[in-house]
Every structure is written in C-alpha cells, then in structure tokens.
Amino acid sequence: MPSGGRCPDCGSTELVEDSHYSQSQLVCSDCGCVVTEGILTTTFSDEGNLREVTYSRSTGENEQVSRSEQRGLRRVRDLCRVLQLPSTFEDTAVAYYQQAYRHSGIRAARLQKKEVLVGCCVLITCRQHNWPLTMGTICTLLYADLDVFSGTYMQIVKLLGLDVPSLCLTDLVKTYCGSFRLFQASASVPAKYVEDKEKMLSRTLQLVELADETWLVTGRHPLPVITAATFLAWQSLKPSDRLTCSLARFCKLANVDLPYPASSRLQELLAVLLRMAEQLAWLQVLKLDKRSVVKHIGDLLQHRHTLLRKAFREGTAEVEAQKELQEQGQGQGQGKEVGSSSLDLPEGKRPASPALLLPPCMLKPPKRVCPTPPVSTVTGDENISDSEIEQYLRTPQEVRDFQRAQAARQAATSGPNPP
Amino acid sequence: MRIMALPSQLCREDEVRLPHLLPPHPRVGPPRMEEEETYLQLYLNQCAAQDDFIPPGLPLLSPVVPEDVYISDSCNPETAFNSHLEEVKETSGDFSSVDLSFLPDELTQENKDQTVIRSKHEIEENCKTQSLQRRLPLSSQQDVGLGLHSSSSSESHAPLPPGGANSVHPSEKSNSLSLASITPMTPMTPLSECSGIVPQLQNIVSTANLACKLDLKKIALHAKNAEYNPKRFAAVIMRIREPRTTALIFSSGKMVCTGAKSEEQSRLAARKYARVVQKLGFPARFLDFKIQNMVGSCDVRFPIRLEGLVLTHQQFSSYEPELFPGLIYRMVKPRIVLLIFVSGKVVLTGAKERSEIYEAFENIYPILKGFKKA
C-alpha cells in the first residue's frame, strides 16, 4: 500500500507495509530498500502481552484471502486427511474451493452451505480420480443433511461447469466389501461366519454385475444393492451354516449400517436368481424357493451369461401387452409376466418361457390408471357468468359469522395464556 | 393444395383489397399500388405456369414447409424456394397489405401447433415410408438411428452427414410430398422418424397483472376459496374448481396461476380470478397475461440405460442415482429440461410454448431409442 513518503534510494513512491516476523517495516517495492522499521526489541512488560505468530501468518500470504475462505480451505485439507486421500487430491480440492469462492453467490452464502461446499469439492475430486466415495459418507462426516448437500452439489457443478464422472461401481464394491468385519474371528463373529475376503469379493462383484444387467441398479442408490449382494455372496459360500442368519443380523455382525432398501433389493436379486435356476436342468426338478436357491448361487453365477439369455427376453411394455392379449384375452398390461410364464410350465417339464427383462418399476402393475384427459375446447376468451364467480364469495351473513369465529378463536388462544 | 387455390384467392383479393387497381402506367398515382400490381402480375404468372405441374420446390410454399424446421435445411428444395422468394421480393419491398402467410418465415407457431391435430394413422403411415427411405442409403453408417436422426434434429447434435444424405433428400421429399399432395390440407408430420407419441401437458404456470393494489385481508375475509397466512407467505392462495387451478395473489396486484392443463385453460382461469377480485370491490383489470412455464410428460414404453446415456451425452446430462433416480437432460435447443427415468417415462419442463415441448421430445426420442436394447 503506497504511503506518503518516497524511497531515499530510488525515489519511488511505491512503499509497502511489510511485516517481517514481529517487526513491521516500510519497504520500497521497487528497490527493496527498507525505509522505516518498527521496534525490534520489546520491554519485559510489553512481552507479556505478545503471542506467537505462526510462520504462515507472518509471511503475509493469507492477507489476500478472507478468513472465511481460509477456514474453508483448512476444512478441505482436514477432510482429505481424515479420508486418507492421496496428497494430489488435496491440492485439486483446494483449487476447486478457491474457484468456487470467486463467485459472489458462494461468498455470500450461509456458513452451513460453505461447510457443505467443502464436502462437495472433496467429492468432485474423488469422482474425477475414480475414488469411490459416496455422498452418504461425506454427509456423515460433515454432519450435514443430504438435501442441503445435494442442492449445493448440483449448484457448484453447474457453476464451475465441471464434468463429474459417475460413481465407479466395481471400486465401490471393493471398498465397501472390505469394510465388513467378517474376515477374522472375534467375540461377536463365530468361526463359521468368518469368510475369506477374496472369495467374497469376487462373488459379490459377480452378483452386482448380474444385478446391473437385470436392471436392478439403474436409477437406484448403489449401496443397498451392494449390501444385498454381499449378503448373498456370504451366505452362498457356506449355506448350511449361514442360511439361518438374516440380513439385519449379518450387518450387525459385520459392523455395517443396514441401508433401508437393501431388503427389497435382496428380494429382487433372489427373484432373478430363481428365474435363472428355472433354466438349469438339474435345478428344475428341485423346485427351488428363495431360501434353497442360495445353495446354488455358485453354479448360477458360473453360467450366468447363458442363463440370462435363456431366462429373459428383451421386450417392451407393448410387446408384453400384445402377448397378454394373445394368451389370456385380457388387456391387463405389464404386471402379468409371472402368471403367463407359469401357464407355460406344464408340470415343470419344460423350462418356463422367458420373462421380460425390465426394471422392477415396469413390471409392477401401475398403481392408478391415468386416464387420458378429454380434449378440451376451451378458448380462454369465454364469457364468465356472474353466478359462477359468486359461488366463491361469502354472503354478508357468512362474513359476520366468520369474523365472529375468528375473534372467538383469538380470545381462546390468548385467554388461557396470559402474556 | 393451397397453392392451387392461391391464384383464385388472389383474384378475389384483387377485388376486395385492391379495388382501385390502376392499369400499369409509368409512375403516376400511388407507387405502392403499382408495385403491388406488378408483384401480383408476376406472381400470377408464376402460379399459372406452375399450375400445370408441381416441381419439388414449390409445394414447400404450402403448410408442408414446417418440415424444414425439423430437417436440416441445406437441401435443394429450399434453394429452389429461395430463388422464388428472391424474385418475389425484388418487385416490391412493401408487402404490408398482401397476404403473405404462405411464406415460411411466418409459418412458425400456427403450423407447429397444427401438428398436434394430426391423426395417428397418418403419422404411422408416414413413419413407415420415411423410415424405409431413410434407412437404405445410410445403412453404411454405424449407428444409423443416431447419426441420421441427429441430422434431422436441431443443430446442437451431430451435423448433417454430408453427400449421401443430401442426394437422398430431394427424391425422398418428392415421394413424401406426392403423398402430401394427395392428402387433404392437414399439416404434415415432420419427416424425422416421428415417435407417434405426443407429450401430454400436465401443468401451466402463468402470471397476470391486476393493476391495482389489493387488501389481502379483505380478500381472505370475503372470498370462500381463499387462504391467507401472512406469517407463512405474503400472498392469498385462491382456488377455483373449473378449470381446476390455484392462484397466488399478491398485494401489489400481481398474480400467479398454476395447475391448468392447457394455455387456454390457464388464461380462462386467470380471468376468473381477476373477476373474483373485481367482484370483491377492487378495480382489477387483466393485463400482461404471460405463460411462464409449461410441463409435459410422456412414456416411450421401453426401459432406458441411464448410465449409458450419461456417458454419451455427458455435456447435457446429469445422473446421480444417490440423489435422484432420474437423469436430468438439459437440452440446448430448445431450452428445455427433461427428466428421463429408467421406466421410459419422460418429463419435459421449462417451455414457454407448446411447440418447444414437442420439439424437445422429437429431439430426444431418437437418442433414447439408441439406448433401447440393454
């Protein structure tokens, strides 16, 4: 900052206040000559009031950065360290935060939003490096609401114009599976429940791939699918001992939170496996159900490609509807594929006709039939009759009644609670 | 076809609009009249010549022209048309009193709207002929559907495949247009592989200005269908049964009307709210009615691989299954936001006009069809 004086050496007026450690100096920015110096030594009584100055604060590098931004950058670095991310991620995340901070909308945002912004920057960095970090994890770490997080995340991606790749499912499976505490016996985990990590991981990956191919993953949160797949993989590796264990108990043993949708994903996955089992000759005779099919998951996964091709056919809702019309003479629509396939199965001798490979939301019957709205011939300029408008107005008597009722309510609420 | 009707129409217009048409003589009298007369003569001569046959260019002057809007334009018929237009324009600069509605410059809303009224049978018939013709020359291309239809859709997608496609167009057009010349004057479907699905409008948001200060307390007191909680929101929420809509009425006199299923219904509803406010004793008028947003939805009836779509259309799509099950596609032209779900249901929003919704859906349909098989 230029002050009034001139440099005695070169005569320029560009003098800058520069603090060198605890000594303030006036320095010429052209030749570097020190014009004036503050007091270097202090008296004993003065020293009592002094505090340590950290190096970073003494070098003046943060004078251009506001305190709030500094706090945010610190939080970004802390979060990266807590998550044990590589150091390059830290720099990228910090750069994103600084970039975001240049926008006035972010600078003026509430502290809660700035907190969440820290998480968003770290998440974007991880996604770009294919590091599987879920939003749920970040929200737990930041004690933030997922709604607030999602709003800020969408805003910042749009604001910075970033290309954020999707969450990598295979990596997520590996990290998430690895977090299950089932690979060593302990007080809570009996020996029969302990499993080899590699075997479980490979089987879980295959099951997640299967779920992805059969439309169980698209549009859904990835984590519950992985939980269900891990559970099935674990059960199938030693079914005799583990069939009795439920999904909830499994998650408790493994010290992992059970996400709410995991049980319905489990049912969907079992339904797919049952369909595939119907195509295997030696399994047809066994008349498998949801529990017994677990024992044969190994076989089913081994032949999953062929089984999928045989068990399911491509189709659309229209094809299914037409098929319905032909077979049953009804126009019910999509929900009947189970019925039609059981019709085709005489005494379990022939494999069931292929079911439709559709997402579960298309297989369920529609909750309510949406009638096509009648073609309206409204022009917008019709006459509006007085009677039609008057039906919406209160008569004077009604107005008086209403006012009286309101006054009574006021009296009632303010009466029992004296101010 | 309208063109054949035009000469006689113009003749009638001679009598009605330009009753005192002077015989041509050098620059005497109102020059405007003279210019128009020479223009008329020129045009009549053209029409007389063309009455004998229909060259591929001319039918474009009919309402068939809206196809140009959907097809990328650099094809022969348009250049033929442009030359016609040039001739016409040279004669007179002032066309204000002449009926020029057959020119494509003005064929915007009216004809796009008319595409709604088309019969499905016509659509499918055209679809089949068009799809057959289109598939043949471009079978060499890897993704025929994608490349071809991106050429037939807006410029934000892949550019028109050169050479082969252009040469195909005139012959295609003549085939389709001969079909068109036989059918009655219902507007043609766009030549792009039409989906046969029409998005249904679900909600219209519009605003109007009542142009007077309002006493919200009084309105809430005297109107049965009003609710007013000043602590919660600074406006009266009023509802009417027919058309079933809700309005937010502010003390400044501005009003927002939501819930209507068509533009006309929205306007009628807004007028009814204005009338209610009028009957309550305020000098309300009905000014500046404007449609702010239109929401439509439809179903393509096949499942969609959203992960694939976000990979190929990364710059337009946002798919976060952890946050929302649908894919958010921000189309550039027209500026519409589409929510695409795995079940094939599509929600289109952000439109100010009905045609934008239809156009956006016709643009997205070929892209979605590319992801039809798993």
Question: If contacts are CB pairs under 8 Å, which of residues 290-349 in chain A contact chain B?
Answer: 314, 316-318
Q: Does domain A67-167 have CATH number 3.40.50.720?
A: no
- Give me the mean pLDDT over the A177-195 stretch: 88
The candidate with the shortest Cα–Cα distance to A123, out of A155, A161, A167, is A167
- Determine contact, residues B273/B260, Cβ cutoff 8 Å: no
Q: Residue B7: enclosing H or E segment and its boundaries?
A: helix B2-17
One-character DSSP codes across B261-303: SSHHHHHHHHHHHHHHHHHTT-----EEEEEEEEEEEEE-SS-
The whole-number pLDDT of residue B283 equals 95
Q: Per-residue pLDDT averaged across A29-47, rounded?
A: 76
| Sheet of strand A23-28: strand arrangement | A15-20, A23-28, A34-37
Q: What is the pLDDT of residues B258-276, one digit of tens each?
A: 999 999 999 999 999 999 9
Query: Which one of A265, A392, A395, A409 would you mutate to disrupt binding with B, by most B Cβ within 10 Å of its Cβ?
Result: A392
**Cβ atoms of B65 and B104 closer than 8 Å:** yes
Separation between Cα atoms, residue B178 and residue A191, nearest integer Å: 80
* Count, residues in chain B: 374
In 3D, which of B21, B81, B75, B93 has the Cα closest to residue B50? Answer: B81
> The domain A170-310: what is its CATH number?
1.10.472.10
The B residues from 214 to 273 touching A (CB cutoff 8 Å) are: 221-225, 240, 242-243, 261-268, 271-272
B7 half-sphere exposure, CB direction, 13 A CA radius: 13
List pLDDT tens digits, range B150-189. Answer: 444 443 444 434 444 444 444 444 444 444 455 455 555 4
Mean pLDDT (chain B) is 70
Q: How far apart are CA A40 and CA B273, in angstroms?
A: 78
Looking at the partner chain, which of B223, B301, B321 has a beta carbon nearest the beta carbon of A394?
B223
Residue of chain A with shortest Cα separation from B199:
A372
Shortest Cα distance from A342 to chain B (angstroms)?
A: 24
Least confident window among A200-214, B102-116, B273-287: B102-116
Tokens of B132: 């057959």
Tell me the average pLDDT across B30-49: 61
- Give B333 or A37, the one with higher predicted confidence: B333
d(CA A344, CA A356): 14
Pairwise CA distance, residues A123 & A80, whole Å: 10
Give the pLDDT score at A340: 41
A209 pLDDT higher than 60: yes
Rounded CA separation B340/B347 (Å): 7
Q: Is the pLDDT of residue A204 over 90?
A: yes
Smallest CA–CA separation between A414 and chain B, in Å? 17
- pLDDT value at residue B196: 87
Tell me how long chain A is.
419
Tell me the pLDDT of chain A averaged across its residues. 84
Verify whether the Cβ–Cβ distance A318 to B266 is below 8 Å: no
Percent pLDDT > 90 in chain B is 45
DSSP assignment, residue A27? Answer: E
A221 touching B, CB under 8 A? yes
Residue A192 has pLDDT above 60, yes or no: yes
pLDDT of residue A317: 54
The percentage of residues in chain B with a pLDDT greater than 70, rounded to a whole number, is: 48
Hey, what long-range contacts does B28-32 have (CB within 8 A, 24 or more apart)? B32/B94
pLDDT at B14 over 60: no
The CA distance from A343 to A353, in Å, is 9
Check pLDDT > 70 for residue B82.
Answer: no
CA distance A172 to chain B (A): 13
CA distance B134 to B194: 12
- Mean pLDDT for the stretch of residues B37-53: 64
pLDDT at site B34: 53
* DSSP designation for B228: -
Q: What is the pLDDT of residue A329?
A: 46
Q: Select from A272, A389, A402 the residue whose CB has the most chain B CBs within 10 Å, as the one to mutate to test that interface.
A: A389
Write out chain B residues lying below 8 Å of A386, CB-based: 279
DSSP state of A57: H
Range scoring the smallest mean pLDDT among A83-87, A241-245, A378-382: A378-382
Residue found under tokens 């609009």: B17
Range 159-188 of A in CB contact (< 8 A) with B: 163, 166-167
The predicted model scores a pTM of 0.66
How confident is the model at residue A123, as a pLDDT? 96
> What's the mean pLDDT in A71-88?
94
Asked if residue A16 has pLDDT above 90, the reply is no
- Measured from the Cβ of residue A336, the count of other Cβ atoms closer than 10 Å reads 19
Q: Which of A7-16, A84-93, A251-260 is predicted with the least confidence, judged by mean pLDDT?
A: A7-16
Distance CA A35, CA A257 (A): 65
Q: Do domains A67-167 and A170-310 have the same CATH topology?
A: yes
| Environment class of B71 (CB within 10 Å of its CB; exposed 0-12, middle 13-18, buried 19+) | buried
Q: Which two tokens stand for residue B224?
A: 């049965």
What are the beta bridge partners of residue A19? A24
Q: What is the pLDDT of residues A276-331, one digit of tens each?
A: 998 888 888 888 888 889 999 998 999 888 888 888 876 555 555 565 556 554 44
Phi and psi of B232, rounded to 5°? -90, -50
Whole-number Å distance between alpha carbons of B174 and B186? 18
| A381·B222 Cβ contact <8 A | no
Instruction: Find out whether A298 and A199 touch, Cβ atoms under 8 Å.
Output: no
Three-state SS at A369:
coil
Residue type, B141: Q
pLDDT of residue A313: 75
> What single letter denotes the amino acid at residue A214?
T
Comparing A66 with B117, the larger pLDDT belongs to: A66
Domain ranges of chain A: 67-167, 170-310
Rounded Cα distance, B185 and B182, in Å: 9
Percent of chain A at pLDDT exceeding 70: 84
Has residue A175 got a pLDDT over 90? yes
Residue B303 · residue B312 · CB < 8 Å: no
Higher pLDDT, B3 or B342: B342
* B225 min Cα distance to partner chain A (Å): 6
Q: Summarize the confidence of residues B302-315 as an average pLDDT.
A: 93
pLDDT at position A30, please? 85
* Measured distance CA(A331)–CA(A324) in Å, rounded: 7
Average pLDDT over residues A122-139: 95
Strand partners, B290: B207
Please tell me the predicted confidence (pLDDT) of residue A33. 85
Between B144 and A182, the more confident residue is A182
**Alpha helices of A35-145 — where are they, by DSSP H?**
44-47, 55-58, 67-82, 87-101, 104-107, 111-128, 135-142
A391 or B9, which is more confident?
A391
Which of the two residues, A39 and B246, has the higher pLDDT score?
B246
Q: Which two tokens stand for residue A116?
A: 């969440």
Span A395-415, mean pLDDT?
91
CA distance B153 to B70: 6
Burial of B126 (0-12, 13-18, 19+ CB in 10 A): buried
Please list, in sequence order, all residues whose beta carbon lies within 8 angstroms of the beta carbon of residue B218, skipping any fewer than 6 positions away: B280, B281
The pLDDT of residue A418? 57
Tell me the C-alpha distance between A281 and A160, whole Å: 56
Distance CA B103, CA B63 (A): 9
How confident is the model at residue B2, as a pLDDT? 44
pLDDT at A141 over 60: yes
Instruction: List chain B residues with CB under 8 Å of A361.
Output: 341-343
Q: Please give the Cα distance from A303 to A308 (Å, whole number).
A: 9
- ipTM, 2 decimals? 0.76
- Residue A323: per-residue pLDDT: 56
**What is Dmax (Cα atoms) for chain A?**
108
Helices within chain B (DSSP H only): 2-17, 31-50, 66-70, 76-91, 109-114, 120-135, 144-152, 164-182, 216-222, 263-279, 306-312, 354-369
Average pLDDT, integer, range A59-69 = 77
Instruction: Give A192→chain B minimum CA distance, Å.
Output: 34
